[in-house]
Structure 1
Amino acid sequence: MDIILAFKALIMGLVEGFTEFLPISSTGHLILAGSLLNFTTEKAKVFDIAIQAGAILAVMWEYRARIGAVLGGLASDARQQKFALNLVVAFLPAAVLGLLFNKAIKAHLFAPVPVALAFIVGALVILWAERRHKTIPAATRIETVDDMTVIDALKVGCAQAFALIPGTSRSGATIIGGMLFGLSRKAATEFSFFLAIPTLLAATFYSVLKERAMLSSADLPLFGIGGVAAFVSAFLCVRWLLRYISTHDFTAFAWYRIAFGLMILATGYFEWIVWAE
């Protein structure tokens, strides 16, 4: 295996894992990292989606007890049945819209400038949501994921659909959307983690199945490196984020998004970096 290609796979896997569950857009970072590394082929795009499975396995391991309880209680436990139904309902909006508009989104929005603009707009939404959360604390009415209704889940699912726009951030859309709809910061974050499991696994299987003709067994080591790197970095990130939100809000991530977005626009405008489309 080409050592340079393996190094690129490692870097991309780390970027995926460290950004997937933070409100800063893993897709946006992967597009930009791929541009810098000249890792922008059609196969590379499949790779970017496939290694999400590694990040998801990290969440599944972190929440293995709850996942086991849900699977074991589907036949008889009303609490677990309600939770599973909420995940299905929240999953549907992005799944349906993704199938309908995936090709158009990839053709027009998977590029540095649209990603940079989405970074900045998303940051402004986070700042507004955090200010609202502090000034109207009574708006928080759901403390745990088990307190959510099907309507609450549908609202969060609709918020997740905005993440089809690269640079928006799936986790950012679901967490901030959840907070705007009355979830506590902890409940919104945990539901975002759980919702990522069906969402990203479905995206991974769909992408790999659709593009299977361009893949071969020779690609397995490359995908393995990226997947393992994504698993390890995502596991560390999830553990850190759960501790972070107990004493902090998401304002710092908003300012990071603004700085990062402006940096992309500035480097592109002054041609300091030639961003690949």
Structure 2
Amino acid sequence: MDTLLLVKAALMGIVEGLTEFLPISSTGHLILAGSLLHFTSEKAKVFDIAIQTGAIFAVILFYWRRLVDTTAALGDSSRARRFVSNVLIAFLPAVVIGLLAGKAVKAHLFTPTVVATSFIAGAVVILWAERRPKSVVRVFTVDDMSPFDALKVGLLQCLALVPGVSRSGSTIIGGMLVGLSRNAATEFSFFLAIPTLIGAGAYSLFKERHLLSAADAPLFAVGLIFSFLSAWVCVRWLLRYVATHDFVPFAWYRIAFGIAVLVTAHFGWVNWAD
């Protein structure tokens, strides 16, 4: 396989892993990175979704003990059953809305202009959420969440179908807006990512299997490995970060990046491929 193509796969994997769990939109960054790297074919779109699985393996490894203990306790622990049911409740809206609207979204919204606009709009929401009174927090751990809390977070996750909004941003910031603490919202976002990203990756690979062949295995393997490694670093850092910091810096980053994309596209300084 072409060495340059493998380098592009590695770079895309790094972008995916570093951005998947931050409130800055991994899909948006992959669209922009793909435009710069001329990695924008239909196969590349499948690749972008598939390598999310590499990032989610980092979460699974990080929470391995919690996941094993929860699974083992399902038979006799109401706490474990409530946790699993909450994740499933939050996961279902994305399945339904994704199946109904996913094709239209990919056809019309996967453009740099939409991504840049969503970056800025999402930043405004983050700034607003971080300036709300802390007294609105009523759920301090994921185990304190009710099924209705989970449903609200799941519905908010559907906003991430629009590229540039950010799945992590919609679930973490959305969770904070419905009463979760920053730590609880971040952890629940990680757990919700497991069925969401694995499901999306498996569905995309199955649906677009006619585009793929055995010769593509090295390309996908490189993307998955680099996505996993960079996500592992990011997850560990983010959990330490949210313990003592807010998400305001990410909001300003989104605004700056969004404006940069719009300005460079308007003046033709960068040929963002729609």
TM-score band, normalised by the shorter chain?
over 0.9
Match of 2:72 in 1: 72
Query: Aligned pair 1:226/2:223, yes or no?
Result: yes
Counterpart of 1:243, as a letter, is: R
**Shift, 1:70, TM fit:** 1.7
Secondary structure of 1:245's match?
helix
Query: Aligned pair 1:147/2:174, yes or no?
Result: no
- CA distance in structure 2 between the aligned counterparts of 1:274 and 1:231, rounded to whole angstroms: 30
Work out which of the residue numbers 197, 200, 224 in structure 2 matches 1:200. Answer: 197
- CA distance in structure 1 between the aligned counterparts of 2:6 and 2:36, rounded to whole angstroms: 15
Match of 1:8 in 2: 8
Q: Deviations over 1:50-88 (max 9, x none)?
A: 001100000000000111012112222111100000000
Secondary structure of 1:246's match?
helix
Query: Aligned pair 1:248/2:245, yes or no?
Result: yes
**Shift, 1:138, TM fit:** 1.4
Query: Aligned pair 1:98/2:98, yes or no?
Result: yes
- Greater shift, 202-211 or 64-73, is seen at 64-73
TM-score by length of 2: 0.99
- Greater shift, 69-78 or 5-14, is seen at 69-78
**Shift, 1:25, TM fit:** 0.1
Query: Aligned pair 1:166/2:163, yes or no?
Result: yes
- CA distance in structure 2 between the aligned counterparts of 1:87 and 1:59, rounded to whole angstroms: 15
- Greater shift, 68-77 or 161-170, is seen at 68-77
Which segments of 5 or more consecutive residues in structure 2 lack a partner in the other structure? none
Match of 1:109 in 2: 109
Match of 1:120 in 2: 120
Counterpart of 2:94, as a letter, is: A
Give me the CA root mean square deviation: 0.5
- CA distance in structure 1 between the aligned counterparts of 2:196 and 2:86, rounded to whole angstroms: 13
Secondary structure of 1:57's match?
helix
**Shift, 1:214, TM fit:** 1.1
Match of 2:180 in 1: 183
How many correspondences in the alignment? Answer: 274
Which segments of 5 or more consecutive residues in structure 1 lack a partner in the other structure? none
Match of 1:39 in 2: 39
- CA distance in structure 2 between the aligned counterparts of 1:35 and 1:138, rounded to whole angstroms: 43
Q: Deviations over 1:202-244 (max 9, x none)?
A: 0000000001111111111110000000000000000000011
Counterpart of 1:101, as a letter, is: A
- CA distance in structure 2 between the aligned counterparts of 1:128 and 1:95, rounded to whole angstroms: 28
Q: Deviations over 1:154-175 (max 9, x none)?
A: 0100110100100000000000
Match of 1:49 in 2: 49
